[in-house]
């Protein structure tokens, strides 16, 4: 708190806002304590946002000496104004220092790709212009503004510069670290549910594999996105496999639009038997979407064995020959229950056995039988521990029944939602199935003419047959 003033002296005037020493300022709290401004800034670094939100329990009024407080409200108001000014000044200085330290990462990557000189790069960055604004300028204006050479200005504004700009966007890595629930919520635009929270808790541990089981439409794609984003956070690629080409094409469109709509800087590649769409060269955050057979073929055709795991357990696939397999952090295998398919199941088995044990596997399914045995087999085959995260409830309603044609009604014997959710009506099921399993014989009236015609046709067939075998009849 401020030192007490002598009783006879008038209250000291508040110093100008720009000269208020931060160590002298205190912030009142609802717990009766006064905290230093420096501690306040560590917790609420952006004071502008704090000023808007006004967190409960904190006020901007300083702890003043009793004599100063008794001197009237003018001194307190002046001190409050001084503190707010100091908070704003410190916040703006902190934000400016942060921006200056980080700079325009995308612009720097763009200039590195064009191999501009250090002098030209520094001059361009000093202008504060983004790469899109620089590319829109005439080369002559660039030379005059930054002092770069004509060749460098031409490179920035040329078609090759545009390609470098696209590649520079893909070359900007995501922040390294552990993905948090808030990170996922901000990307999805809504809070994740308990199933996705439990999946996230497993995925953030690189040494663990995951089997996520949930009914259709219950959030498995969000789990896949969590695994992909965590791979990007580790500075690695991610691979998403599906059993059919149509699903691969659909996921390519979904993830590409998803990343673009949410401002995620990442490249998406599509590899199927018919289509090959590649991300720009040098892409750091790359998602490769392919069929399960494509990944199996790439793994089995790689001659060299992968290196041993790193000391920190991080993924390392540098020993694989295929460049698509280089630096993979995670493989998301959708519809993993295809491993039980009689004809194609070996594809998933070979993929799991050839995948380096430093790469995290995230398997998704709605109908896999005996998941405990499956996870135990993966742990034995890959030498990695695995976890199961399940979801029982179903978002998309399921109704089972039959159409009664005579009454033109749908007779339901099982449903997943409503008052009778989960109750199987066996009596109704048997009544609906009985006409199919035990059809009743229905007597059809026959006329005398039809009986005579049938007998006549039988006699003609007998005569023709006798004539064919010897003509003796009988």
Give the model's pLDDT for residue 265: 78
pLDDT tens-digit profile of 261-316?
777 778 899 998 788 888 877 677 899 999 999 999 888 887 554 454 554 544 45
The sign of the dihedral angle between the CA atoms of 262, 266, 270, 276 is positive
Please report, rounded to a whole number, the percentage of residues in the chain having pLDDT higher than 70: 66
| 181-390, CATH topology level | Rossmann fold (3.40.50)
pLDDT tens-digit profile of 38-86?
555 544 444 433 443 444 444 444 333 333 333 445 555 666 566 666 6
Contacts of residue 407, defined as CB under 8 A and 6 or more positions apart, other chains included, come to none
Is the pLDDT reported for residue 424 higher than 70?
yes
The residue among 371 and 450 whose pLDDT is bigger is: 371
The residue among 166 and 152 whose pLDDT is bigger is: 152
Are 47 and 88 in contact, with CB atoms under 8 Å apart? yes
Contacts of residue 243, defined as CB under 8 A and 6 or more positions apart, other chains included, come to 291, 292, 334, 335, 338, 344
pLDDT tens-digit profile of 163-222?
554 444 444 455 567 888 888 888 888 899 999 999 999 999 999 999 999 988 888 999
Are 208 and 386 in contact, with CB atoms under 8 Å apart? yes
Least confident of 30-34, 130-134, 154-158, 349-353: 30-34
* Residue from 349, 224, 255, 358 nearest 293 by CA: 349
32 pLDDT tier (thresholds 50, 70, 90) = low
- CB neighbours of residue 121 within 10 Å: 20
Give the model's pLDDT for residue 25: 52
List of E strands, 255-305: 267-271, 276-277, 286-291
Please state the three-class secondary structure of 191-252 as a single string: CCCHHHHHHHHHHCCCCEEEEEECCCCCCHHHHHHHHHHHHHHCCCEEEEEECCHHHHHHHH
Is the pLDDT reported for residue 383 higher than 80?
yes
Return the top range by mean pLDDT from 10-14, 110-114, 231-235, 405-409. Answer: 231-235
Longest Cα–Cα distance in the chain? 152
Give the model's pLDDT for residue 35: 54
Helix, strand, or coil (residue 15): coil
Report the C-alpha gap between 321 and 131 in whole angstroms: 35
Are 152 and 161 in contact, with CB atoms under 8 Å apart? no
Give the model's pLDDT for residue 305: 47
Is the pLDDT reported for residue 474 higher than 80?
no
Strands 276-277 and 58-59: unpaired
* Residue from 183, 191, 188 nearest 262 by CA: 188
Average pLDDT over residues 8-20: 46
Contacts of residue 168, defined as CB under 8 A and 6 or more positions apart, other chains included, come to 106, 107, 109, 110, 112, 113, 131
8 burial type by CB count under 10 A (0-12 exposed, 13-18 middle, 19+ buried): exposed
Centroid of chain to Cα 355: 22
Report the C-alpha gap between 146 and 128 in whole angstroms: 11
Least confident of 65-74, 106-115, 377-386, 427-436: 65-74
Tokens of 446: 């026959």
Report the C-alpha gap between 163 and 124 in whole angstroms: 19
Mean pLDDT across the chain, nearest whole number? 74
Phi first, then psi: give them for residue 239, nearest 5 degrees.
-120, 135
pLDDT tens-digit profile of 340-380?
888 889 999 999 988 998 999 999 998 888 899 999 998 99
Report the C-alpha gap between 316 and 294 in whole angstroms: 20
Q: Which residues pair with 286 in a beta bridge?
A: 267
């Amino acid at each position: 708190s401020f030192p007490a003033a002598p009783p006879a002296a008038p209250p000291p005037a508040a110093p100008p806002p720009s000269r208020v020493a931060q160590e002298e300022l205190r912030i009142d709290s609802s717990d009766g304590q006064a905290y230093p401004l420096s501690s306040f800034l560590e917790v609420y670094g952006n004071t502008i946002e704090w000023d808007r939100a006004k967190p409960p329990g904190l006020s901007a009024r300083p702890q003043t000496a009793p004599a100063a407080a008794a001197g009237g409200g003018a001194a307190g108001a002046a001190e409050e104004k001084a503190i707010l000014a100091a908070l704003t000044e410190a916040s703006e200085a902190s934000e400016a220092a942060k921006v200056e330290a980080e700079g325009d990462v995308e612009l720097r990557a763009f200039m590195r790709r064009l191999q501009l000189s250090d002098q030209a790069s520094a001059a361009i960055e000093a202008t504060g212009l983004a790469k899109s604004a620089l590319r829109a300028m005439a080369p002559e204006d660039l030379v005059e503004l930054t002092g770069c050479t004509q060749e460098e200005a031409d490179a920035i504004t040329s078609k090759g510069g545009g390609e470098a700009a696209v590649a520079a966007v893909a070359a900007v890595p995501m922040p390294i670290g552990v993905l948090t629930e808030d990170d996922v919520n901000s990307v999805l635009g809504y809070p994740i549910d308990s199933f996705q929270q439990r999946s996230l808790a497993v995925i953030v541990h690189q040494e663990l594999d995951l089997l996520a089981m949930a009914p259709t439409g219950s959030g498995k794609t969000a789990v896949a996105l969590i695994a992909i984003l965590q791979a990007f956070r580790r500075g690695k690629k991610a691979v998403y496999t599906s059993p059919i080409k149509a699903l691969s094409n659909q996921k390519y469109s979904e993830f590409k639009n998803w990343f673009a709509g949410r401002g995620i800087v990442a490249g998406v590649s599509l590899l199927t038997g018919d289509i090959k769409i590649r991300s720009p060269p040098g892409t750091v955050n790359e998602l490769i979407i392919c069929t399960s057979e494509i990944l199996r073929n790439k793994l089995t055709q790689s001659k060299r064995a992968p290196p041993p795991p790193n000391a920190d357990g991080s993924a390392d696939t540098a020993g694989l020959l295929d460049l698509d397999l280089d630096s993979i952090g995670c493989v998301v295998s959708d519809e993993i229950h295809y491993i039980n398919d009689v004809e194609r199941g070996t594809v998933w088995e070979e993929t799991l056995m050839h995948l380096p044990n430093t790469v995290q596997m995230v398997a998704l399914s709605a109908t896999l039988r005996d998941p405990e045995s499956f996870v135990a087999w993966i742990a034995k085959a890959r030498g990695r521990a695995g976890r199961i995260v399940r979801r029982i409830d179903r978002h998309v309603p399921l109704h089972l029944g039959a159409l009664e044609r005579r009454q033109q009604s749908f007779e339901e014997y099982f449903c997943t939602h409503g008052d009778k959710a989960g109750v199987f009506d066996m009596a109704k099921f048997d009544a609906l199935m009985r006409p199919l399993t035990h059809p009743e014989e229905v007597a059809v009236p026959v006329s005398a003419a039809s009986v005579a015609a049938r007998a006549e046709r039988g006699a003609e067939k007998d005569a023709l047959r006798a004539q064919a075998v010897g003509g003796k009849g009988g």
